[in-house]
């Protein structure tokens, strides 16, 4: 059974670019071996990640993320059973939220700085789908 999970968290050390690069690198390697796909958005010290895959694999990874010392204030935004993956082309696509067109941010948020803590999970997921449609997601399998 496939599921999709969307969460948000804050970086414990938002200035540590090497830690962010490490998270992406490890995620891509781990996800390949566990049948997981998804997208990681990062900007202004905030992570928003969508994970897709088998229920056990997604749940296990989310449990690991909750315990990861590089994350704080982890909040589940959305979880659902799915028929097909939305982000099947990425073991872990990457979006720098600081480089996204302000009009996309304003479409889903009250301000031009997207804050997943202040919007619904549905709005966050809709923004991810638009970022995919506008080729704002970088990285691939």
Is residue 9 scored above 50 in pLDDT?
yes
In sequence order, the β-bridge partners of residue 95 are 41
The pTM of this model reads 0.87
Residue 137 has pLDDT above 80, yes or no: no
Mean pLDDT for 72-87 is: 95
Residue 48's SS3 state is strand
10 or 114: whose pLDDT is higher? 10
How much is the pLDDT for 140? 45
Long-range Cβ pairs for the range 96-99 (8 Å, 24+): 96/41, 96/42, 96/43, 97/41, 97/42, 97/43, 97/44, 97/46, 97/48, 98/43, 98/44
Q: For 21-72, what is each residue's pLDDT tens digit?
A: 777 788 888 888 999 998 888 888 888 999 999 999 999 999 999 998 888 9
Residue ranges with strand state E in 55-114? 71-82, 93-96
In percent, how much of the chain has pLDDT > 70?
Answer: 94
* Mean pLDDT across the chain: 86
- Strands 2-11, 37-43: pairing is unpaired
Q: Which residues pair with 50 in a beta bridge?
A: 6, 39
Residue found by looking up tokens 């997943």 in the block? 116
């Amino acid at each position: 059974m496939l599921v999709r999970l969307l969460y948000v968290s804050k970086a414990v050390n938002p200035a540590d670019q090497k830690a962010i690069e490490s998270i992406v690198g490890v995620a891509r390697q781990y996800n390949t071996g566990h049948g997981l796909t998804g997208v990681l958005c990062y900007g202004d010290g905030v992570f928003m990640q969508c994970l897709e895959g088998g229920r056990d694999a997604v749940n296990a990874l989310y449990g690991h993320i909750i315990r990861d010392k590089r994350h704080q204030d982890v909040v589940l935004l959305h979880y659902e059973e799915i028929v097909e993956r939305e982000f099947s082309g990425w073991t872990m696509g990457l979006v720098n939220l600081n480089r996204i067109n302000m009009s996309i941010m304003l479409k889903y948020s009250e301000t031009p700085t997207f804050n997943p803590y202040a919007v619904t999970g549905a709005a966050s997921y809709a923004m991810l789908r638009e970022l995919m449609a506008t080729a704002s997601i970088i990285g691939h399998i």
